[in-house]
Amino acid sequence: MRILTDPADVDAGLAVFRTAMVGMRPRPPHPEGDVFTLVEKGRMVGGFIGDQLVGAADSTTGELTVPGGARLAHAAVTRVGVLPTHTRRGVLSALMRAQLGGQRDRGVAVATLRASEGTIYGRFGYAVASELRTLRIEKKDAVLRPEVAAAVDRGAVRLVDAEDQALPQRIVTAVPAARPGTITRGDQWWNNRRLWAEATPGPRYLAVHGAAGAEDGYVRYRPADTAGWFTSPERTVIVEELYAPSAAARRDLLAFLLGLDLVDVLELPDRPVDDALPHLLTDPRAARTTAVGDETWLRLLDVPAALATRSYAGTPGDAVILAVDDPLLPANTGVYRITAGGATPADPGAEVDARVDVATLAAAYLGGTPWRVLAEAGLLGGAAPGDRVVTVLDRLFAVPEAPFAGVMF
């Protein structure tokens, strides 16, 4: 295992990933031959057998927003793959161990990824920490409630050049989303997004919200099919991204989308599970959930820092002594006292209320999975559904908004 720093090796790592994924389109040439416009230098781990590169795992640096609004140093793990000729030989396990240890040594507190399969990453301490849903809006039935429609500022939304990457990047940086699970996006993310758009033909549109120089949200959208657009009985628009941290921006951008002519259906594939959008309509059923799936897979690399950084709800008397086990990163193994005022290492000899592995803690960390669910699944050692400790944990880890990132990488 070694970090890939030579551009040719990084290119080879990208090729390994695409070969492992089977169904991906060929990668377009990177700009001016500089692969480090797409891949952060010094982050890709390569696995070799002799001189042959047989596996790779990449990541980019950034920050993850946690409950309470603080941010933790974060690694967005991506491009993980092993050549099909070398699977089932421990290559992936070695890559993950090298990546996890290397990230922690760099001072990274948390890592997240989007999993191609649900059975791979749990054994490395990852767990599903947020979900998303797909909404399908039948436009003929989608009418804003009168009081919502009266508040819409139709002059706040304007179309801009769909190829403009600088403006959305500036909006995301200037107006960060406060939901737990939100991640920052580096230059490589924006460069990859641009190349993906260039390699995917067809019309695209970009509308922004707010006055010039003070924009606070945007929506990207495209038609699902252009070949039969004018004769189709169900002309569908795919909303690729609706970035609108404020309720006003979400309302105005939704009104803009509902006002599109020649459109029968709006599909929004990446929305938080507690999205208020259906409730803005006179008929909430006009915005139908067609799918729910896992989004953020979270790995806690520095448990003491992660527990100490997020805020907790509950009452002043709420306290739990939680034992955490992490066989891959033993420095995380320990006993922690969690109260409404914060989390600290427990006093030596403190009586433990419940025991978890690091993946179970990750599932609950952002507030996306209730502890009662984990207890019912048998993942909370020493506690069962209905026990006081489970009730207290649910109060402590409660969040006002469901975690959601809304970003693929």
| Rounded (5°) CA angle 358-360-363 | 110
**Per-residue pLDDT band at 31 (split at 50, 70, 90):** low
Q: Is a pLDDT exceeding 70 seen at residue 5?
A: yes
62-108: per-residue pLDDT in tens? 999 999 999 999 999 999 999 999 999 999 999 999 999 999 999 99
Question: What pLDDT is attached to residue 60?
Answer: 97
340-394: per-residue pLDDT in tens? 999 999 999 999 999 999 999 999 999 999 999 999 999 999 999 999 999 999 9
Q: Is a pLDDT exceeding 80 seen at residue 32?
A: no
156-197: per-residue pLDDT in tens? 999 999 999 999 999 999 999 999 999 999 999 999 998 888
Question: What pLDDT is attached to residue 197?
Answer: 87
Average pLDDT (204-214) is 97
**Per-residue pLDDT band at 30 (split at 50, 70, 90):** low
How high does pLDDT run on average in the chain? 96
Rounded to whole angstroms, the Cα distance separating 168 from 188 reads: 14
105-152: per-residue pLDDT in tens? 999 999 999 999 999 999 999 999 999 999 999 999 999 999 999 999
Question: What pLDDT is attached to residue 199?
Answer: 80
Q: Is a pLDDT exceeding 60 seen at residue 29?
A: no
pTM for this model (two decimals): 0.96
Question: What pLDDT is attached to residue 27?
Answer: 67
Residues marked as catalytic: 121, 409
Residue ranges and CATH numbers for the domains of the chain are 2-130 (3.40.630.30), 132-162+204-293 (3.40.630.30), 303-356+370-396 (3.30.1050.10)
Question: What pLDDT is attached to residue 25?
Answer: 73
Average pLDDT (287-292) is 98
Q: What is the 3-state secondary structure (H, E, C) of the chain?
A: CEECCCHHHHHHHHHHHHHHHCCCCCCCCCHHHCHHHCCCCCCCEEEEECCEEEEEEEEEEEEEECCCCCEEEEEEEEEEEECHHHCCCCHHHHHHHHHHHHHHHCCCCEEEECCCCCCCHHHHCCEECCEEEEEEEEHHHCCECHHHHHHCCHHHEEEECCCCCHHHHHHHHHCCCCCCCCECCCHHHHHHHHHHHHHCCCCCEEEEECCCCCCCEEEEEEECCCCCCCCCCCCEEEEEEEECCCHHHHHHHHHHHHCCCCCCEEEEEEEECCCCHHHHECCHHHEEEEEEEECCEEEECCHHHHHHHCCCCCCCCCEEEEEEECCCCHHHCEEEEEECCEEEECCCCCCCCEEEEHHHHHHHHCCCCCHHHHHHCCCCECCCCCCHHHHHHHHHCCCCCCCCCCCCC
**Per-residue pLDDT band at 200 (split at 50, 70, 90):** confident
Average pLDDT (260-284) is 97
